[in-house]
Structure 1
Amino acid sequence: MSVFSLFTEPKKMKAHIDDSSAKVQLETRLSDLFDSTRKRPAVILCIGTDRSTGDSLGPLIGTHLSRLNLPKLNVYGTLDEPVHATNLQENINYIQQSFYNPFIIAIDACLGKMESIGCITLANGPLKPGAGVHKQLPEVGEAHITGIVNVGGFMEYMVLQNTRLNLVWRMSENISTLITHSYLKVRK
């Protein structure tokens, strides 16, 4: 089964961090992705910065995953070494040069509708980082995970700066756990 056939229906899945049954469905879909790409190096690219509470989701997830030292899971973007707007292309180039045909899952925080705050999404195709704050950055990944941390549509930079750390922390723990369980089911 190809990566793309796994995403024919639906192309995007969403689960709130407090919805256990929906998170199980995300975990199953992510396990299927890891299983279908078993022969390829797995790369988790966590995008964001610790200089903005709302945008720290990626580096928090990268830090959680890096500390676990999961076998053959390559993690980029941590609190110590964040991947952000100014070094994203450099990191993409490094990953492409370091691995033959890597399977990249890109992760980032995003802004959304009020009723979606606290939701995790898993979708096929590349992530478009910076879209919520009107930045033109390179797309990356064959699949991507986002965490909806606050409301979008107006004064996005201010909204990211004023996002509750508690929500971002809880989302980072949930997404890290989701990735860890999914990965260990199929790639040990």
Structure 2
Amino acid sequence: MTKTFTAAQLGQLIASETLSPDSARLRIKNFVAKGYIVTRQRSDSDGRGTLLFSIGDALTAAVLSRMVDLGGLSKAAMQAAATRLQAWKTDSRNPARAEVGPDLPHPPAESPALRLWEEYEAAPDFHVSLHLRWAEKRGAVNCGAYLSLGDGEYYGRAPDVEPMADLLVPVTPLFPELAARIDRMGKAH
């Protein structure tokens, strides 16, 4: 059975000493309103259609919350990170660059973030980092994001351009913290 969480539960998962559960819940709602976290499910049983979020969404929320705690990065940086964590890359012009499709050996999880969680559950010594890269392209500064896995694999490899700036957000420390909170949450119900 797939675990799902309400916005309030997601808030409890990302709350910290400096971020109360209520503030974290509002942060989640803000992420959803801005389109950083994709809403894929609604509850059928509560009559209100409460939004439900996956473990991948919880990981995305934790990473984005960490970025906000770093000083509220630009909208472009938040969107690049959210898109990298929430959406698989498809490339109809160059199928070899696609991350999902009929020619790939395994069906994808709903999102790269959920795939990362599955990798962590399979091997808890799993390492991953989110990289944000600002680069000039055709006279404009663009922000892109990619994930680097400890084994040299990448999701959304950064373009081979000289970066103007890079930011590394370690994701690995979030896994055991989230896993413990999810476990405690399950035991409380």
Fold equivalence (TM over 0.5): no
Q: Which has the higher contact order (CA 8 A, sep 6+)?
A: 1
Greater Rg over alpha carbons, structure: 2
User: Structure 2-normalised TM-score?
Assistant: 0.27
User: Structure 1-normalised TM-score?
Assistant: 0.27
